[in-house]
A and B are shown apart, each in its own frame.
Chain A
Amino acid sequence: GAGVSQSPSNKVTEKGKDVELRCDPISGHTALYWYRQSLGQGLEFLIYFQGNSAPDKSGLPSDRFSAERTGGSVSTLTIQRTQQEDSAVYLCASSLEGVYTQGDDTQYFGPGTRLTVL
C-alpha cells in the first residue's frame, strides 16, 4: 500500500517568506508526527497529532511554526517569516495509534521535504 508522502520534496525560499509543507499519512493511521533534521543531526520532534485530541506542540521552536491536520488525515506545517536557521529536512511520520508500549506500533516516515532558506 501507499506509504507516507510529503510535498514538495525540495523547497528553496528567501529569508522572510512563508512556506507550507504537506504530509499525507498512511491511510488509517491516527497518529502523525513532524520532525526536523538538520545536516548531520538527529531527529528533532516538532509536533504530534493524535485523532481528534489537541496536538502536542511542545517541540515547536518558535511561534513562527504552526501545523494543522484537517479531517484527521493530511497535515500542513507552516513556517512564517523563514530564517536561515530553518534550513533542514522536515520529516513527517505516521503510526496506527501512537501506542508503543508493546512494540506493536511504530512510526513510518515519509521521504521528507528539504527546505533551504537563502
Chain B
Amino acid sequence: QKEVEQNSGPLSVPEGAIASLNCTYSDRGSQSFFWYRQYSGKSPELIMFIYSNGDKEDGRFTAQLNKASQYVSLLIRDSQPSDSATYLCAVNPYTDKLIFGTGTRLQVFP
C-alpha cells in the first residue's frame, strides 16, 4: 500500500464550480498535511497546510482533515481556469520528511 494515495485524474470541473481533491494516507502517526500546486513544467508551490481535525480555510481554498479516516481533502471554490494544475498532497509520517502523493491533475474549463 502506498503511503500517500491520490487519484491521478484528470478531474474536470467547469469554471465557477467547486473542485474537490482527495488524499488518503497509511501512517496513523502522521501529524501534518500539506497541499502543493504544480503547474506544468514548474516546481511545486505550497498552497496550505493543516494539522488539526476539521476544516481550515484560506481564501478560495479549504483543507479538510479527518485523522480517524486517514483522509485529507482540498476544496477549491469558484474554480478558475488558472487553477488548472496538478495538486500534490504531502504527509508527514516522520518528523523530518514529507511523503508526497503522485498528484491529481485538475482541469477547469471555461
> Using a Cβ–Cβ cut-off of 8 Å, how many residues does chain B contribute to the interface with A?
24
* B95 A100 Cβ-Cβ under 8 A: yes
Residues in chain A near residue B96, CB distance under 8 A: 31, 48, 50, 56, 98-100
- Say yes or no: is B97 at the interface (Cβ < 8 Å to chain A): yes
CB <8 Å contact, A106 and B49: yes
By the criterion CB–CB under 8 Å, are A45 and B32 in contact? no
Q: Are A102 and B51 closer than 8 Å at their CB atoms?
A: yes
B18 to chain A, nearest CB (A): 24
Residues of A within 8 A of B102 (CB): 41-42
B88 contacts A43, CB within 8 Å?
A: yes
Contact B100 A43, beta carbon cutoff 8 Å: yes
B44 neighbours in A (Cβ, 8 Å): 43, 91, 109
Residue-wise, chain B 32-60 has the 8 Å CB interface mask toward A (1 for contact) of: 11100000001111100111000000000
Q: Which of A41, A50, A103 has the most CB of B within 10 A?
A: A103
> Is there a chain B Cβ closer than 8 Å to A72's Cβ?
no
| A-B CB pair tally, cutoff 8 Å | 62
Taking CB as reference atom, which chain A residue is nearest B56?
A103
**Known interface pairs A42-B88, A42-B101, A111-B42. Does A99 touch B49 (Cβ–Cβ under 8 Å)?**
no
Contacting residues, chain A, for B70 (C-beta < 8 A): none
A25 within 8 A of B: no
Of the residues A43, A48, A106, A112, contact of B46 by C-beta under 8 Å = A106
Residues of B within 8 A of A103 (CB): 32-34, 49-51
Known: A42-B100, A42-B101, A50-B96. A100 touches B46 (CB 8 A): no
List, sorted by A's number, 17 A–B pairs whose CB atoms are closer than 8 Å. A31-B96, A50-B96, A56-B96, A91-B43, A91-B44, A99-B96, A100-B31, A100-B98, A101-B32, A102-B32, A102-B51, A103-B32, A103-B51, A106-B49, A108-B46, A111-B42, A112-B43
Known: A48-B97, A100-B95, A111-B42; 6 extra A-B contacts, CB below 8 A, are A45-B97, A98-B97, A100-B92, A101-B51, A108-B46, A110-B43
**What are the nearest 8 A-B pairs in CB distance?**
A42-B102, A100-B92, A109-B43, A103-B49, A43-B100, A103-B51, A100-B32, A98-B96
